[in-house]
């Protein structure tokens, strides 16, 4: 064998793809590890460019959120009295709080919010599959640009619907387009794309920390938006300025992404995926019926990644991704609607306005941000060596560490428990404080607020679960299939997002006037069932490169 052949063989070996090999190589990993976990120089990755994109996208999506809840409540309240008692509707101005406190109004308000949540869940079912196919064929960056463009178009549709030259028919068309585009350009879609972007280019050792950091910066955008949006609406007495602000932010973010965000999924990887997909579909090209079935099944193509694969080394099927799917389905059914239920609860029972909701959600997002960007990465960095020492068997034949997911699993479980306790505390302490204040005929306007913010602080300790679970999913398959696998899990999650508002929303609508805390207890029970599934995930079922045991 010639010297040139040896060099080529060595080069090929060094560039072999494994779970520990990022698609975009990170230079000087030894030097990078000398930096603190919070320093961008430690990651030395294009993923850092993603942070402003995620932050501004979350800011643009969330700045109208608290205003939208207030507008929906006002419209539902006005519609209710239009149908039942039109004489009580004031000739001008907003509907009074005492009218909107009626049990019938509260039930319809809760049901309408639940229907919007169901629409978002349905959009996610379609959107994750479409984005997975689009991003694997054209790249992550074009997919991010598409979502930002949809968000901008959604804002423009709402603003155009208020133009005095638009007739009633076009106003309805524009409002429908606003609702649909807003559903498909939701923060869930951007969260999926940002996760796949980070997974593409960050090595497994830094993946959980950077996923948590990017997730936290996105929440910071939400924190700014919720507080700012409520204040703008309250001070201007106009709902349009927040939507104008969202449109401007989306436009600026779109320009930044086009010119500064690098692609994380290069053309050679996309071509390889396309080649594999072409080979898999050769069989289905024979016969029109099979071809039709194949095209219909393409919408759910990522779901095939969840199928248990037979492992010849262990002699059994790998159920790891099935457990991941079951976990995310249960926790989304139980937990997805809970923040919305809390907002409805505070709005309907304690007359929280747009600024009140905005400040509360802003405070919650700030504490979520601190947990995700500081607390979780610090815990991972401190405990990772300890967990690896406790799992000495996770090495290949050459003694290389194959990693462990136990730390991510334990943090996820603790995070869910903290969130459950926080929401239960919110319903219990707020109700209890208001009860005692009413009994003593004394007004304590700040005390309920304090207890609500204390509950929100405990709830925010649950911020680490979402990015760490995605890291567990990414560790389950080869790097080339990580994006598609995350899409499959997100599709299962979207089913939970679809079911949650219909099921939990129905419970809240039926009990909000009698036992509003019931929905939070039910949430806790379902989430605990889901988190127990995480303990079925084993380190031995992680993805290992074909040459790992050689």
Predicted confidence (pLDDT) per residue in 261-313, tens digit: 888 888 888 888 778 777 666 655 555 555 555 555 555 677 888 888 877 76
Q: Report CA-CA distances (Å) from 322 to 310, 317, 318, 328, 537.
A: 13, 11, 9, 10, 9
pTM, 2 dp? 0.76
Q: What is the dihedral of CA 449, 455, 458, 460, to 10 degrees?
A: -70
- Choose the most confident range, by mean pLDDT, from 84-88, 200-204, 521-525: 521-525
Q: What is the mean pLDDT of residues 106-134?
A: 81
- Choose the most confident range, by mean pLDDT, from 24-33, 49-58, 119-128, 515-524: 49-58
Q: What percent of the chain has pLDDT over 90?
A: 14
CA distance 542 to 278: 27
**For 84-101, how does the pLDDT look when each residue is reduced to its tens digit (9 = 90+)?**
888 888 877 778 878 887
Arithmetic mean of pLDDT over the chain:
77
pLDDT number for residue 125 = 78
Domains of the chain: 43-266+293-541 (1.20.1250.20)
**How many other CB atoms are there within 10 angstroms of residue 424's CB atom?**
18
**For 157-187, how does the pLDDT look when each residue is reduced to its tens digit (9 = 90+)?**
888 887 777 777 887 788 788 888 888 888 8
Is the pLDDT confidence value at 116 over 60?
yes
Q: Sorting pLDDT into bands at 50, 70 and 90, what band is 446?
A: very low
Q: Sorting pLDDT into bands at 50, 70 and 90, what band is 448?
A: low
DSSP annotation of 247 reads: H
Q: Sorting pLDDT into bands at 50, 70 and 90, what band is 250?
A: very high
CA distance 375 to 462: 11
Is the pLDDT confidence value at 68 over 80?
no
Q: Sorting pLDDT into bands at 50, 70 and 90, what band is 136?
A: confident
Q: Sorting pLDDT into bands at 50, 70 and 90, what band is 442?
A: very low
CB 49 within 8 A of CB 260: yes
**How many other CB atoms are there within 10 angstroms of residue 91's CB atom?**
4
Is the pLDDT confidence value at 257 over 90?
yes
Lowest mean pLDDT among 233-242, 432-441, 479-488: 432-441
**How many other CB atoms are there within 10 angstroms of residue 21's CB atom?**
15
- The two tokens of residue 345 are 């609860």
**For 359-410, how does the pLDDT look when each residue is reduced to its tens digit (9 = 90+)?**
777 788 888 888 888 888 889 888 888 887 776 555 443 333 455 788 889 9
Q: What is the mean pLDDT of residues 476-489?
A: 86
Is the pLDDT confidence value at 145 over 90?
yes
């Amino acid at each position: 064998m010639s010297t040139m052949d040896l060099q080529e063989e060595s080069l090929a070996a060094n560039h072999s793809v494994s779970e520990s090999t990022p698609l975009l190589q990170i230079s000087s990993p030894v030097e990078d590890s000398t930096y603190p976990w919070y320093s961008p120089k430690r990651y030395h990755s294009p993923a850092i460019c993603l942070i402003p994109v995620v932050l501004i996208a979350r800011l643009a999506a969330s700045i109208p959120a608290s205003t939208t809840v207030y507008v929906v409540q006002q419209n539902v309240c006005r519609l209710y009295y239009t149908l039942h008692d039109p004489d009580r509707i004031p000739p001008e101005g907003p509907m009074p709080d005492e009218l909107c406190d009626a049990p019938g109004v509260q039930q319809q308000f809760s049901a309408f919010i639940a229907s919007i949540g169901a629409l978002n869940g349905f959009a996610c079912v379609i959107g994750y599959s479409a984005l997975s196919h689009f991003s694997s064929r054209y790249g992550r960056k074009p997919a991010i640009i598409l979502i930002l463009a949809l968000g901008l178009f959604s804002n423009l549709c709402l603003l155009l619907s208020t133009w005095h030259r638009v007739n009633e028919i076009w106003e309805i068309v524009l409002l429908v387009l606003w609702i649909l585009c807003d559903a498909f350009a939701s923060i869930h879609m951007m969260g999926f794309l940002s996760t796949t972007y980070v997974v593409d280019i960050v090595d497994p050792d830094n993946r959980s920390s950077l996923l948590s950091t990017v997730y936290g910066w996105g929440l910071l955008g939400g924190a700014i938006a919720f507080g700012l949006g409520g204040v703008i609406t309250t001070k201007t007495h106009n709902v349009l300025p927040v939507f104008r602000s969202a449109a401007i932010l989306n436009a600026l973010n779109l320009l930044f992404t086009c010119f500064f965000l690098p692609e994380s999924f290069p053309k050679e990887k996309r071509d390889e995926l396309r080649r594999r997909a072409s080979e898999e579909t050769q069989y289905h090209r024979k016969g029109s019926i099979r071809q039709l079935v194949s095209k219909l099944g393409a919408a759910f193509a990522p779901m095939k990644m969840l199928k248990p694969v037979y492992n010849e080394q262990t002699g059994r099927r790998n159920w790891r991704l099935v457990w991941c799917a079951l976990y995310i389905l249960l926790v989304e059914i139980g937990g997805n609607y809970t923040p919305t239920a809390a907002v409805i609860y505070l709005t309907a029972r304690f007359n929280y306005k747009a600024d009140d909701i905005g400040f509360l959600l802003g405070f919650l997002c700030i504490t979520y941000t601190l947990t995700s960007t500081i607390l979780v990465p610090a815990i991972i960095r401190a405990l990772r060596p300890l967990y690896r020492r406790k799992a000495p068997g996770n090495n290949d034949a050459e003694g290389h560490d194959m990693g462990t997911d136990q730390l991510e699993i334990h943090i996820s479980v603790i995070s869910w428990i903290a969130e459950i306790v926080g929401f239960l505390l919110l319903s219990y302490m707020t109700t209890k404080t208001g009860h005692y204040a009413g009994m003593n005929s004394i007004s304590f306007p700040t005390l309920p607020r304090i207890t609500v913010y204390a509950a929100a602080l405990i709830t925010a300790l649950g911020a680490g679960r979402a990015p760490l679970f995605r890291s567990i999913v990414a560790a389950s398959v080869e790097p080339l299939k990580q994006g598609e696998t995350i899409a499959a899990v997100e599709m299962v999650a979207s089913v939970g997002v679809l079911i949650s508002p219909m099921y939990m929303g129905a419970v809240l609508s039926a009990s909000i006037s009698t036992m509003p805390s019931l929905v939070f207890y039910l949430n806790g029970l379902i989430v605990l069932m889901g988190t127990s599934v995480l303990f079925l995930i084993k380190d031995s079922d992680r993805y290992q490169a074909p040459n790992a045991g050689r």
